[in-house]
Protein backbone atom coordinates (compact mmCIF):
# COMPACT_ATOMS: atom_id res chain seq x y z
CA UNK A 1 0.00 0.00 0.00
CA UNK A 2 1.44 3.39 -1.02
CA UNK A 3 1.49 6.15 1.58
CA UNK A 4 0.51 9.12 -0.60
CA UNK A 5 1.57 11.73 1.96
CA UNK A 6 5.05 10.20 2.30
CA UNK A 7 5.24 9.83 -1.50
CA UNK A 8 4.57 13.56 -1.91
CA UNK A 9 7.28 14.36 0.64
CA UNK A 10 9.61 12.06 -1.29
CA UNK A 11 9.06 14.11 -4.45
CA UNK A 12 10.00 17.28 -2.61
CA UNK A 13 13.13 15.66 -1.16
CA UNK A 14 14.28 14.48 -4.61
CA UNK A 15 13.50 17.54 -6.69
CA UNK A 16 16.22 19.77 -5.31
CA UNK A 17 19.29 21.00 -7.15
CA UNK A 18 21.60 18.67 -5.22
CA UNK A 19 19.23 15.68 -5.53
CA UNK A 20 18.90 15.91 -9.32
CA UNK A 21 22.58 16.77 -9.84
CA UNK A 22 23.91 13.79 -7.87
CA UNK A 23 21.38 11.49 -9.50
CA UNK A 24 22.76 12.46 -12.93
CA UNK A 25 26.37 12.12 -11.73
CA UNK A 26 25.51 8.73 -10.25
CA UNK A 27 24.10 7.42 -13.55
CA UNK A 28 27.19 8.63 -15.45
CA UNK A 29 29.60 7.07 -12.94
CA UNK A 30 27.55 3.86 -12.79
CA UNK A 31 27.74 3.22 -16.54
CA UNK A 32 31.46 4.04 -16.49
CA UNK A 33 32.17 1.81 -13.48
CA UNK A 34 30.15 -1.07 -14.91
CA UNK A 35 32.04 -0.92 -18.20
CA UNK A 36 35.47 -1.31 -16.54
CA UNK A 37 36.32 -5.02 -16.08
CA UNK A 38 37.72 -5.70 -12.61
CA UNK A 39 36.19 -2.63 -10.97
CA UNK A 40 33.23 -4.29 -9.27
CA UNK A 41 30.20 -2.28 -8.20
CA UNK A 42 30.60 -3.02 -4.45
CA UNK A 43 34.26 -1.92 -4.59
CA UNK A 44 33.44 1.26 -6.50
CA UNK A 45 30.60 2.21 -4.16
CA UNK A 46 32.80 1.50 -1.12
CA UNK A 47 35.44 3.85 -2.56
CA UNK A 48 32.82 6.56 -3.19
CA UNK A 49 31.07 6.31 0.20
CA UNK A 50 33.49 8.79 1.89
CA UNK A 51 32.48 11.39 -0.73
CA UNK A 52 28.92 11.23 0.62
CA UNK A 53 29.86 12.28 4.18
CA UNK A 54 29.16 16.01 3.61
CA UNK A 55 25.91 15.20 1.76
CA UNK A 56 22.40 15.10 3.13
CA UNK A 57 21.40 11.49 3.86
CA UNK A 58 18.67 11.42 1.20
CA UNK A 59 20.98 12.84 -1.47
CA UNK A 60 23.71 10.34 -0.54
CA UNK A 61 21.28 7.43 -0.87
CA UNK A 62 20.04 8.69 -4.25
CA UNK A 63 23.64 9.09 -5.48
CA UNK A 64 24.71 5.56 -4.50
CA UNK A 65 21.47 3.94 -5.73
CA UNK A 66 21.87 5.67 -9.12
CA UNK A 67 25.39 4.24 -9.46
CA UNK A 68 24.07 0.78 -8.58
CA UNK A 69 21.30 0.68 -11.19
CA UNK A 70 23.42 2.19 -14.01
CA UNK A 71 26.35 -0.16 -13.39
CA UNK A 72 24.14 -3.12 -14.29
CA UNK A 73 23.87 -1.84 -17.85
CA UNK A 74 27.48 -0.64 -18.00
CA UNK A 75 28.75 -4.19 -17.57
CA UNK A 76 27.10 -5.24 -20.82
CA UNK A 77 29.03 -2.73 -22.97
CA UNK A 78 32.37 -4.52 -22.78
CA UNK A 79 30.63 -7.92 -22.63
CA UNK A 80 29.14 -7.24 -26.07
CA UNK A 81 32.06 -5.42 -27.68
CA UNK A 82 35.10 -7.37 -26.49
CA UNK A 83 33.59 -10.43 -24.75
CA UNK A 84 34.77 -9.09 -21.38
CA UNK A 85 31.91 -8.62 -18.90
CA UNK A 86 32.35 -5.44 -16.89
CA UNK A 87 30.36 -7.08 -14.09
CA UNK A 88 29.85 -10.82 -13.37
CA UNK A 89 26.12 -10.48 -14.06
CA UNK A 90 26.88 -9.39 -17.65
CA UNK A 91 28.56 -12.72 -18.47
CA UNK A 92 25.28 -14.17 -19.76
CA UNK A 93 24.80 -11.13 -22.02
CA UNK A 94 28.02 -12.01 -23.83
CA UNK A 95 26.56 -15.37 -24.95
CA UNK A 96 24.62 -13.72 -27.78
CA UNK A 97 25.78 -10.10 -27.52
CA UNK A 98 29.34 -10.73 -28.65
CA UNK A 99 28.41 -12.99 -31.61
CA UNK A 100 26.03 -10.25 -32.75
CA UNK A 101 28.82 -7.67 -32.47
CA UNK A 102 31.14 -9.93 -34.48
CA UNK A 103 28.55 -9.91 -37.26
CA UNK A 104 28.88 -6.14 -37.39
CA UNK A 105 25.71 -5.45 -35.35
CA UNK A 106 27.42 -4.02 -32.28
CA UNK A 107 25.22 -0.90 -32.09
CA UNK A 108 22.05 -2.94 -32.38
CA UNK A 109 23.21 -5.33 -29.63
CA UNK A 110 24.12 -2.41 -27.34
CA UNK A 111 20.73 -0.81 -27.98
CA UNK A 112 18.91 -4.05 -27.12
CA UNK A 113 20.92 -4.36 -23.89
CA UNK A 114 20.15 -0.74 -22.98
CA UNK A 115 16.42 -1.08 -23.68
CA UNK A 116 16.24 -4.36 -21.76
CA UNK A 117 18.02 -2.86 -18.76
CA UNK A 118 15.55 0.02 -18.66
CA UNK A 119 12.57 -2.36 -18.89
CA UNK A 120 13.92 -4.58 -16.09
CA UNK A 121 14.78 -1.65 -13.86
CA UNK A 122 11.45 0.12 -14.39
CA UNK A 123 9.47 -3.07 -13.63
CA UNK A 124 11.38 -3.86 -10.45
CA UNK A 125 11.21 -0.31 -9.05
CA UNK A 126 7.46 -0.08 -9.66
CA UNK A 127 7.17 -3.45 -7.98
CA UNK A 128 9.34 -2.18 -5.12
CA UNK A 129 7.02 0.81 -4.80
CA UNK A 130 3.79 -1.17 -4.49
CA UNK A 131 4.71 -4.67 -3.28
CA UNK A 132 7.83 -4.38 -1.14
CA UNK A 133 6.42 -6.19 1.90
CA UNK A 134 4.92 -9.32 0.20
CA UNK A 135 8.01 -10.24 -1.82
CA UNK A 136 10.29 -9.64 1.16
CA UNK A 137 8.03 -11.91 3.27
CA UNK A 138 8.65 -14.89 0.99
CA UNK A 139 12.29 -14.08 0.17
CA UNK A 140 13.50 -14.33 3.76
CA UNK A 141 12.05 -17.86 3.96
CA UNK A 142 14.77 -19.11 1.62
CA UNK A 143 17.26 -21.04 3.74
CA UNK A 144 20.33 -23.06 2.77
CA UNK A 145 18.33 -25.93 1.15
CA UNK A 146 16.41 -23.50 -1.06
CA UNK A 147 19.56 -21.57 -2.01
CA UNK A 148 21.30 -24.83 -2.94
CA UNK A 149 18.41 -25.86 -5.18
CA UNK A 150 18.29 -22.40 -6.73
CA UNK A 151 21.99 -22.74 -7.64
CA UNK A 152 21.37 -26.23 -9.02
CA UNK A 153 18.56 -24.81 -11.13
CA UNK A 154 21.04 -22.30 -12.52
CA UNK A 155 23.56 -25.04 -13.25
CA UNK A 156 21.01 -26.84 -15.44
CA UNK A 157 21.76 -24.11 -17.99
CA UNK A 158 25.05 -25.93 -18.70
CA UNK A 159 23.15 -28.56 -20.71
CA UNK A 160 22.13 -25.91 -23.22
CA UNK A 161 25.54 -24.30 -23.68
CA UNK A 162 27.15 -27.07 -25.70
CA UNK A 163 26.26 -26.50 -29.33
CA UNK A 164 27.85 -29.72 -30.50
CA UNK A 165 28.18 -32.05 -27.54
CA UNK A 166 26.37 -32.22 -24.21
CA UNK A 167 29.35 -34.07 -22.72
CA UNK A 168 31.78 -31.33 -23.68
CA UNK A 169 29.49 -28.77 -22.05
CA UNK A 170 29.28 -30.94 -18.94
CA UNK A 171 33.07 -31.31 -18.71
CA UNK A 172 33.51 -27.55 -19.17
CA UNK A 173 30.91 -26.84 -16.47
CA UNK A 174 32.51 -29.28 -14.04
CA UNK A 175 35.86 -27.58 -14.67
CA UNK A 176 34.31 -24.27 -13.60
CA UNK A 177 32.83 -25.87 -10.46
CA UNK A 178 36.25 -27.37 -9.69
CA UNK A 179 37.92 -23.96 -9.91
CA UNK A 180 35.27 -22.52 -7.58
CA UNK A 181 36.18 -25.02 -4.84
CA UNK A 182 39.80 -23.88 -4.43
CA UNK A 183 40.87 -22.63 -1.00
CA UNK A 184 39.21 -22.97 2.40
CA UNK A 185 35.84 -24.72 2.53
CA UNK A 186 32.88 -23.34 4.53
CA UNK A 187 33.77 -25.83 7.30
CA UNK A 188 37.34 -24.55 7.56
CA UNK A 189 38.98 -27.47 5.73
CA UNK A 190 41.87 -26.38 3.50
CA UNK A 191 41.32 -27.64 -0.01
CA UNK A 192 43.85 -27.66 -2.87
CA UNK A 193 45.43 -24.21 -3.23
CA UNK A 194 48.80 -25.13 -4.82
CA UNK A 195 50.71 -23.87 -1.76
CA UNK A 196 49.95 -20.23 -2.47
CA UNK A 197 48.11 -17.99 0.01
CA UNK A 198 46.47 -16.15 -2.92
CA UNK A 199 44.17 -19.14 -3.52
CA UNK A 200 43.20 -19.75 0.11
CA UNK A 201 40.21 -17.46 -0.35
CA UNK A 202 39.25 -19.26 -3.55
CA UNK A 203 40.09 -18.66 -7.20
CA UNK A 204 39.78 -14.94 -8.04
CA UNK A 205 36.47 -14.75 -9.91
CA UNK A 206 37.03 -11.59 -11.97
CA UNK A 207 40.54 -12.52 -13.28
CA UNK A 208 39.26 -16.02 -14.07
CA UNK A 209 36.34 -14.65 -16.07
CA UNK A 210 38.59 -12.16 -17.86
CA UNK A 211 40.98 -14.97 -18.77
CA UNK A 212 38.27 -17.34 -19.98
CA UNK A 213 36.29 -14.82 -21.98
CA UNK A 214 38.54 -11.94 -23.00
CA UNK A 215 42.11 -13.24 -23.13
CA UNK A 216 41.11 -16.48 -24.84
CA UNK A 217 39.30 -14.35 -27.45
CA UNK A 218 42.46 -12.27 -27.97
CA UNK A 219 44.52 -15.43 -28.51
CA UNK A 220 41.92 -16.55 -31.08
CA UNK A 221 42.16 -13.17 -32.84
CA UNK A 222 45.95 -13.41 -32.99
CA UNK A 223 45.68 -16.96 -34.28
CA UNK A 224 43.35 -15.85 -37.08
CA UNK A 225 44.90 -12.36 -37.56
CA UNK A 226 41.45 -10.79 -37.93
CA UNK A 227 39.50 -8.01 -36.29
CA UNK A 228 36.45 -9.10 -34.30
CA UNK A 229 33.87 -7.71 -36.72
CA UNK A 230 32.92 -9.68 -39.80
CA UNK A 231 31.91 -6.72 -41.89
CA UNK A 232 33.45 -3.41 -42.80
CA UNK A 233 33.28 -0.47 -40.44
CA UNK A 234 30.44 1.93 -40.99
CA UNK A 235 29.79 5.44 -39.78
CA UNK A 236 28.52 5.47 -36.21
CA UNK A 237 25.42 7.63 -35.94
CA UNK A 238 23.74 6.17 -32.86
CA UNK A 239 20.57 5.51 -34.90
CA UNK A 240 20.98 1.73 -34.67
CA UNK A 241 21.43 2.02 -30.90
CA UNK A 242 18.14 3.92 -30.58
CA UNK A 243 16.39 1.38 -32.80
CA UNK A 244 17.79 -1.39 -30.63
CA UNK A 245 16.36 0.14 -27.44
CA UNK A 246 12.80 -0.56 -28.61
CA UNK A 247 13.54 -4.05 -29.91
CA UNK A 248 12.92 -5.76 -26.52
CA UNK A 249 9.24 -4.81 -26.90
CA UNK A 250 9.08 -7.35 -29.75
CA UNK A 251 9.61 -10.05 -27.11
CA UNK A 252 7.02 -9.19 -24.42
CA UNK A 253 6.84 -12.74 -23.03
CA UNK A 254 10.60 -12.99 -22.60
CA UNK A 255 10.77 -9.52 -21.05
CA UNK A 256 7.96 -10.17 -18.57
CA UNK A 257 9.26 -13.57 -17.46
CA UNK A 258 12.78 -12.15 -17.07
CA UNK A 259 11.44 -9.21 -15.03
CA UNK A 260 9.68 -11.59 -12.64
CA UNK A 261 12.67 -13.93 -12.32
CA UNK A 262 15.09 -11.02 -11.82
CA UNK A 263 12.98 -9.26 -9.19
CA UNK A 264 12.35 -12.39 -7.15
CA UNK A 265 15.89 -13.84 -7.37
CA UNK A 266 17.34 -10.41 -6.57
CA UNK A 267 15.30 -10.36 -3.36
CA UNK A 268 16.90 -13.60 -2.16
CA UNK A 269 19.79 -12.87 0.22
CA UNK A 270 23.18 -13.60 -1.41
CA UNK A 271 21.62 -14.82 -4.68
CA UNK A 272 22.55 -11.82 -6.79
CA UNK A 273 22.13 -10.66 -10.37
CA UNK A 274 24.33 -13.36 -11.92
CA UNK A 275 21.96 -16.19 -11.00
CA UNK A 276 18.98 -14.13 -12.17
CA UNK A 277 20.67 -13.53 -15.54
CA UNK A 278 21.60 -17.17 -16.12
CA UNK A 279 18.18 -18.47 -15.05
CA UNK A 280 16.42 -16.01 -17.34
CA UNK A 281 18.68 -16.87 -20.26
CA UNK A 282 17.95 -20.56 -19.83
CA UNK A 283 14.21 -19.92 -19.46
CA UNK A 284 14.15 -17.78 -22.62
CA UNK A 285 16.00 -20.50 -24.49
CA UNK A 286 13.47 -23.13 -23.43
CA UNK A 287 10.53 -20.93 -24.43
CA UNK A 288 12.03 -20.05 -27.82
CA UNK A 289 10.73 -21.58 -31.05
CA UNK A 290 14.31 -22.25 -32.14
CA UNK A 291 16.39 -22.82 -28.98
CA UNK A 292 19.40 -24.01 -30.99
CA UNK A 293 19.86 -20.47 -32.33
CA UNK A 294 20.81 -19.20 -28.88
CA UNK A 295 24.52 -18.51 -28.62
CA UNK A 296 24.74 -17.41 -32.26
CA UNK A 297 23.66 -13.81 -31.70
CA UNK A 298 19.87 -13.69 -31.27
CA UNK A 299 18.16 -10.66 -29.68
CA UNK A 300 16.30 -12.73 -27.09
CA UNK A 301 19.66 -13.96 -25.80
CA UNK A 302 20.43 -10.35 -24.83
CA UNK A 303 16.92 -9.35 -23.72
CA UNK A 304 16.57 -12.13 -21.13
CA UNK A 305 19.78 -11.70 -19.07
CA UNK A 306 19.87 -7.90 -19.32
CA UNK A 307 16.25 -7.53 -18.23
CA UNK A 308 16.78 -9.95 -15.34
CA UNK A 309 20.01 -8.50 -13.97
CA UNK A 310 18.53 -5.00 -13.93
CA UNK A 311 15.29 -6.25 -12.38
CA UNK A 312 17.33 -7.92 -9.64
CA UNK A 313 18.36 -4.49 -8.30
CA UNK A 314 14.80 -3.73 -7.22
CA UNK A 315 14.52 -7.16 -5.63
CA UNK A 316 17.79 -6.70 -3.73
CA UNK A 317 16.60 -3.33 -2.43
CA UNK A 318 13.36 -4.94 -1.24
CA UNK A 319 14.89 -7.25 1.36
CA UNK A 320 17.58 -4.72 2.26
CA UNK A 321 15.15 -1.92 3.04
CA UNK A 322 12.34 -4.04 4.51
CA UNK A 323 14.37 -6.38 6.74
CA UNK A 324 17.94 -5.09 6.78
CA UNK A 325 19.11 -8.24 4.97
CA UNK A 326 21.41 -7.38 2.04
CA UNK A 327 20.38 -9.09 -1.18
CA UNK A 328 23.87 -8.68 -2.70
CA UNK A 329 27.42 -7.49 -1.95
CA UNK A 330 26.54 -4.05 -3.27
CA UNK A 331 23.55 -3.89 -0.93
CA UNK A 332 25.82 -4.74 2.03
CA UNK A 333 28.00 -1.73 1.18
CA UNK A 334 24.94 0.48 0.70
CA UNK A 335 23.56 -0.66 4.06
CA UNK A 336 26.77 0.53 5.70
CA UNK A 337 26.43 3.89 3.92
CA UNK A 338 22.82 4.22 5.05
CA UNK A 339 23.78 3.55 8.66
CA UNK A 340 26.52 6.19 8.45
CA UNK A 341 23.81 8.67 7.49
CA UNK A 342 21.51 7.63 10.33
CA UNK A 343 19.18 5.37 8.31
CA UNK A 344 18.78 1.89 9.78
CA UNK A 345 17.36 -0.59 7.23
CA UNK A 346 14.51 -2.66 8.59
CA UNK A 347 10.82 -2.33 9.51
CA UNK A 348 11.41 0.90 11.45
CA UNK A 349 12.73 2.57 8.30
CA UNK A 350 9.19 2.59 6.89
CA UNK A 351 7.89 4.26 10.02
CA UNK A 352 10.62 6.83 10.67
CA UNK A 353 11.97 7.68 7.19
CA UNK A 354 9.40 6.62 4.60
CA UNK A 355 9.73 9.85 2.54
CA UNK A 356 13.46 9.13 2.08
CA UNK A 357 12.67 5.61 0.82
CA UNK A 358 10.13 7.00 -1.65
CA UNK A 359 12.61 9.67 -2.80
CA UNK A 360 15.13 6.93 -3.64
CA UNK A 361 12.56 4.79 -5.50
CA UNK A 362 11.34 7.81 -7.53
CA UNK A 363 14.98 8.68 -8.34
CA UNK A 364 15.61 5.12 -9.56
CA UNK A 365 12.56 5.34 -11.83
CA UNK A 366 13.75 8.67 -13.26
CA UNK A 367 17.22 7.16 -13.74
CA UNK A 368 15.83 4.84 -16.42
CA UNK A 369 15.10 7.47 -19.13
CA UNK A 370 18.26 9.32 -18.10
CA UNK A 371 20.16 6.08 -18.61
CA UNK A 372 18.85 5.83 -22.19
CA UNK A 373 20.29 9.26 -23.05
CA UNK A 374 23.66 8.65 -21.37
CA UNK A 375 23.74 5.02 -22.51
CA UNK A 376 23.33 5.96 -26.17
CA UNK A 377 26.20 8.44 -25.78
CA UNK A 378 28.50 5.83 -24.17
CA UNK A 379 27.57 3.13 -26.67
CA UNK A 380 28.05 5.42 -29.66
CA UNK A 381 31.55 6.36 -28.50
CA UNK A 382 32.59 2.79 -27.71
CA UNK A 383 30.93 0.83 -30.52
CA UNK A 384 33.78 1.61 -32.92
CA UNK A 385 36.06 -0.68 -30.88
CA UNK A 386 34.67 -3.71 -32.69
CA UNK A 387 35.96 -2.47 -36.08
CA UNK A 388 39.52 -1.74 -34.98
CA UNK A 389 42.24 -3.92 -36.57
CA UNK A 390 43.65 -6.67 -34.39
CA UNK A 391 47.14 -5.08 -34.27
CA UNK A 392 45.64 -2.11 -32.38
CA UNK A 393 42.80 -3.80 -30.53
CA UNK A 394 44.77 -6.69 -29.01
CA UNK A 395 47.37 -4.55 -27.12
CA UNK A 396 44.62 -2.19 -25.86
CA UNK A 397 42.41 -4.99 -24.56
CA UNK A 398 45.41 -6.82 -23.11
CA UNK A 399 46.22 -3.74 -21.02
CA UNK A 400 42.58 -3.58 -19.92
CA UNK A 401 42.66 -7.28 -18.96
CA UNK A 402 45.85 -6.83 -16.93
CA UNK A 403 44.57 -3.72 -15.15
CA UNK A 404 41.18 -5.33 -14.48
CA UNK A 405 42.81 -8.44 -13.01
CA UNK A 406 45.30 -6.46 -10.93
CA UNK A 407 42.84 -3.87 -9.59
CA UNK A 408 40.76 -6.01 -7.24
CA UNK A 409 43.55 -7.22 -4.92
CA UNK A 410 46.55 -5.35 -6.40
CA UNK A 411 48.17 -8.73 -6.93
CA UNK A 412 50.45 -9.84 -9.76
CA UNK A 413 49.40 -13.39 -8.92
CA UNK A 414 45.91 -12.56 -10.21
CA UNK A 415 47.42 -11.31 -13.48
CA UNK A 416 49.41 -14.54 -13.89
CA UNK A 417 46.36 -16.62 -13.02
CA UNK A 418 44.31 -14.72 -15.60
CA UNK A 419 46.93 -15.45 -18.29
CA UNK A 420 47.07 -19.14 -17.32
CA UNK A 421 43.27 -19.47 -17.45
CA UNK A 422 43.24 -17.53 -20.74
CA UNK A 423 45.55 -20.11 -22.34
CA UNK A 424 43.29 -22.92 -21.10
CA UNK A 425 40.28 -21.04 -22.48
CA UNK A 426 41.94 -20.69 -25.89
CA UNK A 427 42.54 -24.43 -26.18
CA UNK A 428 39.01 -25.12 -24.92
CA UNK A 429 37.62 -23.00 -27.75
CA UNK A 430 39.83 -24.75 -30.30
CA UNK A 431 38.49 -28.10 -29.06
CA UNK A 432 34.85 -26.90 -29.02
CA UNK A 433 34.49 -26.93 -25.22
CA UNK A 434 32.13 -24.03 -24.34
CA UNK A 435 33.93 -21.58 -22.06
CA UNK A 436 30.58 -20.10 -21.03
CA UNK A 437 29.75 -23.40 -19.31
CA UNK A 438 32.96 -22.98 -17.30
CA UNK A 439 31.97 -19.41 -16.40
CA UNK A 440 28.57 -20.65 -15.23
CA UNK A 441 30.18 -23.35 -13.09
CA UNK A 442 32.57 -20.78 -11.63
CA UNK A 443 29.80 -18.29 -10.76
CA UNK A 444 27.38 -20.81 -9.23
CA UNK A 445 29.80 -23.46 -7.96
CA UNK A 446 30.72 -21.71 -4.71
CA UNK A 447 27.09 -21.00 -3.87
CA UNK A 448 26.15 -24.63 -4.56
CA UNK A 449 29.03 -25.95 -2.47
CA UNK A 450 28.54 -23.71 0.57
CA UNK A 451 24.76 -24.15 0.77
CA UNK A 452 24.97 -27.93 0.37
CA UNK A 453 27.42 -28.08 3.29
CA UNK A 454 25.23 -25.79 5.42
CA UNK A 455 22.18 -27.93 4.66
CA UNK A 456 24.05 -31.13 5.53
CA UNK A 457 25.33 -29.76 8.86
CA UNK A 458 22.11 -28.07 9.95
CA UNK A 459 19.86 -31.03 9.06
CA UNK A 460 22.37 -33.72 10.10
CA UNK A 461 22.81 -35.12 6.59
CA UNK A 462 19.08 -35.74 6.24
CA UNK A 463 18.63 -34.77 2.60
CA UNK A 464 14.92 -35.53 2.66
CA UNK A 465 14.70 -31.89 3.74
CA UNK A 466 14.66 -31.02 0.03
CA UNK A 467 11.31 -32.79 -0.26
CA UNK A 468 9.73 -31.88 3.08
CA UNK A 469 10.05 -28.09 2.90
CA UNK A 470 7.36 -26.59 0.61
CA UNK A 471 9.61 -24.09 -1.20
CA UNK A 472 12.36 -26.71 -1.63
CA UNK A 473 9.89 -29.20 -3.08
CA UNK A 474 8.59 -26.58 -5.51
CA UNK A 475 12.18 -25.85 -6.64
CA UNK A 476 12.90 -29.58 -7.10
CA UNK A 477 9.80 -29.93 -9.30
CA UNK A 478 10.62 -26.79 -11.27
CA UNK A 479 14.23 -27.93 -11.82
CA UNK A 480 13.01 -31.33 -13.04
CA UNK A 481 10.64 -29.59 -15.48
CA UNK A 482 13.50 -27.40 -16.76
CA UNK A 483 15.66 -30.47 -17.38
CA UNK A 484 12.95 -32.67 -18.93
CA UNK A 485 11.08 -30.10 -21.01
CA UNK A 486 13.74 -29.67 -23.78
CA UNK A 487 14.18 -33.45 -24.03
CA UNK A 488 10.46 -34.13 -24.29
CA UNK A 489 9.95 -31.27 -26.75
CA UNK A 490 12.59 -32.69 -29.10
CA UNK A 491 11.10 -36.15 -28.77
CA UNK A 492 7.57 -34.99 -29.65
CA UNK A 493 8.87 -32.84 -32.49
CA UNK A 494 10.59 -35.89 -33.93
CA UNK A 495 7.36 -37.91 -33.75
CA UNK A 496 5.27 -35.18 -35.34
CA UNK A 497 7.72 -34.54 -38.18
CA UNK A 498 6.30 -35.84 -41.49
CA UNK A 499 8.11 -38.82 -42.97
**pLDDT of 234:** 47
Which parts of 328-434 fold into alpha helices (H)? 329-340, 349-352, 354-382, 390-407, 412-430
**pLDDT of 496:** 57
**pLDDT of 35:** 82
**pLDDT of 366:** 93
**pLDDT of 489:** 65
Phi-psi region of 258 (alpha: psi -120 to 50; beta: other; left: phi over 0): alpha
**pLDDT of 139:** 60
Would you list the DSSP string of 274-317? HHHHHHHHHHHHHHSS-GGGTTS--THHHHHHHHHHHHHHHHHH
Nearest to 69 by CA among 375, 333, 368: 368
**pLDDT of 499:** 47
pLDDT tens, residue by residue, 443-490: 778 888 888 998 999 888 888 999 888 888 988 998 888 777 666 766
**pLDDT of 231:** 46
Strand-pair partners of 190:
184
pLDDT tens, residue by residue, 205-228: 878 888 887 788 788 777 665 555
Please state, in angstroms and rounded to a whole number, the distance separating the CA atoms of residues 193 and 198: 8
Q: Name the 3-class secondary structure at 184.
A: strand
Q: Name the 3-class secondary structure at 2.
A: coil
Please state, in angstroms and rounded to a whole number, the distance separating the CA atoms of residues 123 and 259: 7
**pLDDT of 299:** 92
**pLDDT of 232:** 45
**pLDDT of 260:** 92
Distances (CA, A) of 123 to 109, 118, 257: 21, 8, 11
Domain locations along the chain = 4-496
Q: End-to-end CA distance of the chain: give it in Å, rounded.
A: 58
**pLDDT of 206:** 77
Please state, in angstroms and rounded to a whole number, the distance separating the CA atoms of residues 137 and 174: 35
Residues of the chain with pLDDT under 70: 1-2, 38-40, 43, 132-140, 157-165, 223-237, 269-271, 323-329, 347, 350-351, 383-390, 485-487, 489-499
Amino acid sequence: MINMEALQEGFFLLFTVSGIMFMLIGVFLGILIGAVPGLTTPTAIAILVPLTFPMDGTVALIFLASIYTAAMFGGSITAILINTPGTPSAAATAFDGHPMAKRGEAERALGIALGSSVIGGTFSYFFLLVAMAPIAYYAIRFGAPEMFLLAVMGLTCIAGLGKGSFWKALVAGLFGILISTFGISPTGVIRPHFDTPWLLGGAPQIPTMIGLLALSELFSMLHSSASPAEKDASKRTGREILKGTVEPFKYPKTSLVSCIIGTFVGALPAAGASIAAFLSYNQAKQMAKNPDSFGTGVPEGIVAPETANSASTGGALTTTLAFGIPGSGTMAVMMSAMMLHGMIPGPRLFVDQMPTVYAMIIALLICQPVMIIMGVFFCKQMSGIINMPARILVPCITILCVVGSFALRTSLFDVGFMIFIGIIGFFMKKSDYPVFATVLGLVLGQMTDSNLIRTAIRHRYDFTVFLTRPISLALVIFTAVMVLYPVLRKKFKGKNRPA
